[in-house]
Amino acid sequence: MTAVFDVLTEAFKGTPFEGCLWVVGGSVRDQILGVDDGSDIDLVLEGSAEEAARYLFESGVSSIPPVVYPRFGTALVRVANLDIELVTARKESYDHNSRKPFVEPATLLEDAQRRDFTVNTLLKNLHTGEIRDPLGTGLADLEGRILRTPLDPAETFEDDPLRMLRAVRFRWKLGLTPVEGLYQAIQAKRERLTIISMERIRDEFLKMLKLPSAPEAMNDLMTLGLFRFIAPEFEAMPGVEQGDYHHLDVWNHTLEVVRNCSGKPTDGQTLRLAALLHDVGKPSTRTIDAEGRTRFFGHESLGAQLTVGILRRLKLSNDDIEPVSLLVKNHMRLGSATKFSKPAARRLMRDLGPWLLHLLDLVDADANALKKGVRVFDLGQIKSVLDQVSLETPVEKLDSPLSGAEIMELTGLVPGKRVGAIKDILADAVIQGTLHPDDKDAARAIVLGLESTDKPESS
């Protein structure tokens, strides 16, 4: 990050822009905090951002022509392989039905007043290094870890409702305490989120989910009533008691599972989404049996269906959705038998494919969120069997030794369900360990035996 600042500083030396450019926002905040969080680099000036950006391109510093947004007075360039946004200091006014503002040139003070939070209003002069606090509260709020809006929070959230989600994210990312009235303003203005695109809501939500403090951020979304704009299905989870091995309701158990994913080998978006969604099917499947025990029959299958619907609504790609749904559907699978067998291992390896380690991490996180001292399966024994089986038979071999074409050539069958059924029988024999995946001769013998058995006797 330092290198790009050096390039920019040198590029503008001796130009009318020298001394007039200010780094603003997250990168200044993070420098003061002593962290390099990879925040976007924004430069603001009381002048033409487009002219400054064009100068960088014409002097060979930017590798791309400026991408200009005249309505907002911004221009995007790329320097040292990083995107840099130059911004003309501006003030904004909003139409009630849109978060896109009407803008006009303004002073640095007015520019600071239209930003989201005081900790993001600090300026650092590109050339002199001077730190400027236009509002007079940004440095103190950063030092005191205070989350405050430059203007009245109701006005700030009315103008740009996405800032309500950003408030939750920054609170838990930076360890800030909201000032009195800020969270109340979110509750009062939350319906304004209906004007925000789902893509922008999704991006803020996923940024929260990746935080070490994701459970706290998720709980804020719940208590503030913001999940109805993200995934209203979650709102049914608080208060759903589980009984048996559980000491927490469905929602608080879910938060504990998300917490337990931190530091796992597969920790990332897929695992955290699966942790958050793994029990989303429980509220709709809760029953009490004759002995008074709480049951959630089929919650994993329903949860997988709900997962697909929720993540599609959030505009995630199928490549992102499918593994999460797969993990949700299979998260109860390892607790169904007292001992994990080799056939079960082969079947699990085949069904989960590259997501097997994610499933092991998910079920471990789930198990560690049960009552203290409760363990419903032996993960060590499961991993031992999986390791042994993977050495004996790689996962890509866990299939029929014969292709459909080979089966049709052998039997004279035409393409259809019967060919698929025979392939499944051979694959199951491989899974059970009674047929080696490379033994085509034995597979042919099985097929011929099947066809002989299934043919009607001659009269």
Kindly report which listed range (279-293, 296-310, 339-353, 393-407) carries the lowest average pLDDT score: 393-407
Nearest one of 119, 104, 115, 93 to 176, comparing CA atoms? 119
* Residue 38, pLDDT score: 65
Q: Yes or no: say if 80 and 3 are a contact pair by the CB < 8 Å rule.
A: yes
Q: Yes or no: say if 324 and 277 are a contact pair by the CB < 8 Å rule.
A: yes
More confident call, 94 vs 220: 220
Q: Which helix (H) or strand (E) holds 164?
A: helix 162-174
On whether both 221 and 316 belong to a single domain, the answer is no
On whether both 13 and 49 belong to a single domain, the answer is yes
User: Is residue 395 assigned to a domain?
Assistant: no
On whether both 344 and 419 belong to a single domain, the answer is no
On whether both 123 and 94 belong to a single domain, the answer is yes
pLDDT digits (tens, 9 = 90+) for 268-310: 999 999 999 999 999 999 999 988 888 899 999 999 999 999 9
Kindly report which listed range (132-136, 194-198, 362-366, 454-458) carries the lowest average pLDDT score: 454-458
User: Is residue 386 assigned to a domain?
Assistant: no
pLDDT band, very low/low/confident/very high, at 364 (cuts 50, 70, 90): very high
* Residue 243, pLDDT score: 80
Domain termination site, one of 144, 169, 201:
144
User: Is residue 39 assigned to a domain?
Assistant: yes
* 144 has a pLDDT exceeding 90: yes
Domain termination site, one of 115, 144, 173:
144
User: Is residue 26 assigned to a domain?
Assistant: yes
CATH classification of the domain holding 31: 3.30.460.10
On whether both 184 and 71 belong to a single domain, the answer is no
* Residue 94, pLDDT score: 67
* 455 has a pLDDT exceeding 60: no
The CA distances from residue 183 to 169, 287, 312, in Å, are 13, 36, 29
CATH classification of the domain holding 191: 1.10.110.30
- Over range 332-338, report the average pLDDT: 77
On whether both 6 and 134 belong to a single domain, the answer is yes
Distance, in Å, from the CA atom of 295 to the CA atom of 240, rounded to the nearest integer, reads 12
User: Is residue 388 assigned to a domain?
Assistant: no
On whether both 217 and 262 belong to a single domain, the answer is no
Q: Yes or no: say if 2 and 31 are a contact pair by the CB < 8 Å rule.
A: no
Q: State the Cα torsion 381-386-391-394 to the nearest 10°.
A: 170
The CA-based angle 191-193-194, given to 5 degrees, is 80
pLDDT band, very low/low/confident/very high, at 245 (cuts 50, 70, 90): confident
Secondary structure (3-state) at 444: helix
More confident call, 436 vs 276: 276
On whether both 140 and 168 belong to a single domain, the answer is no
Q: Which helix (H) or strand (E) holds 366?
A: helix 356-367
User: Is residue 77 assigned to a domain?
Assistant: yes
CATH classification of the domain holding 350: 1.10.3210.10
Domain termination site, one of 163, 193, 225:
225
Q: Please give the tally of structural domains in the chain.
A: 4
User: Is residue 391 assigned to a domain?
Assistant: no
Upper half-sphere CA count for residue 372 (Cβ side, 13 Å)? 0
Can you give the residue range of the structural domain that contains 447?
Answer: 404-454
On whether both 208 and 321 belong to a single domain, the answer is no
On whether both 176 and 268 belong to a single domain, the answer is no
* 253 has a pLDDT exceeding 70: yes
* Residue 458, pLDDT score: 44
Distance, in Å, from the CA atom of 13 to the CA atom of 18, rounded to the nearest integer, reads 5
* Residue 337, pLDDT score: 62
DSSP assignment of 72-140: TTEEEEEETTEEEEEEE-EEEEE-TT-SPEEEEE--HHHHHHTSS-GGG--EEETTT--EE-TTS-HHH
On whether both 271 and 349 belong to a single domain, the answer is yes
- Quote the mean pLDDT of the chain: 92
pLDDT digits (tens, 9 = 90+) for 85-143: 999 999 876 666 666 667 788 999 999 999 999 999 999 999 999 999 999 999 999 99
pLDDT digits (tens, 9 = 90+) for 33-52: 988 766 679 999 999 999 99
On whether both 134 and 53 belong to a single domain, the answer is yes
User: Is residue 374 assigned to a domain?
Assistant: yes
